[in-house]
Structure 1
Amino acid sequence: MSEREYTAKEISEHTVRDISVWIIVAGFVYNVTDFVDEHPGGAEEILHNAGKDVTSEFMRIHSETAKQMLKQYKIGKLKK
């Protein structure tokens, strides 16, 4: 079964804390809505980047543990 694909426009519409917050990391789409309030750096950091490709920043500042945690929020991939 292939992964669901999402356009950048679709992803950019998921930026509302109490509804849905999605991000793109390395070409994959993650629904991090349930993690917003648990984010150690604060909810505002995620909300500021909601609906965007955050690959560069995410890879630069997050630990390997955080990168592994992200996998549980994966919902698909970015449509090319």
Structure 2
Amino acid sequence: MSKSFTVAEVSKHKTEDSGQYIIVDDGVYDITAFADEHPGGAKILKRMAGRDASKQFWKYHNQKVLDKYTERLKVGTVTETAKL
């Protein structure tokens, strides 16, 4: 079951205590546990927590990467358009 989030709700999830969420396109992903596994390092993911990371994600990744992690990390969708 997928939950709907507003951009404001996602913005509250930027610390490990509250959970670290990012937005990619219209999906909301919980990257809290994944950050330390990220091949590019945890620092970049933690810096993007609580924000729309679409532009940065697509700059370095392709659809296969998103498909690979969607089932594991996606927690919902954004109900409004996020500002880049």
TM-score between the two structures when normalised by the length of structure 2? 0.82
Residue by residue over 1:13-57, the C-alpha shift from the partner in whole angstroms, topping out at 9 and shown as x without a partner, is: 111135411000011101111101111111110011001111111
- Paired residue type of 2:34: F
* Structure 1 unaligned residues grouped into runs of 5+: none
Q: Which runs of 4+ in 1 moved over 2 A?
A: 63-66
Asked if 1 retains the 8 angstrom alpha-carbon contact of 2:26 and 2:77, the reply is: yes
Cα distance in 2 between the residues matched to 1:49 and 1:67: 16
2:76 is aligned to 76
- Paired residue type of 2:77: K
Cα distance in 2 between the residues matched to 1:70 and 1:35: 10
2:34 is aligned to 35
- Paired residue type of 1:43: A
1:1-80 aligned at under 5 Å gives the runs 3-71=2-70, 72-80=72-80
TM-score between the two structures when normalised by the length of structure 1? 0.86
Percentage of identical aligned residues: 34
Higher helix share: 1
* Structure 2 unaligned residues grouped into runs of 5+: none
- The alignment's C-alpha RMSD in Å is 1.7
Cα distance in 2 between the residues matched to 1:40 and 1:18: 23
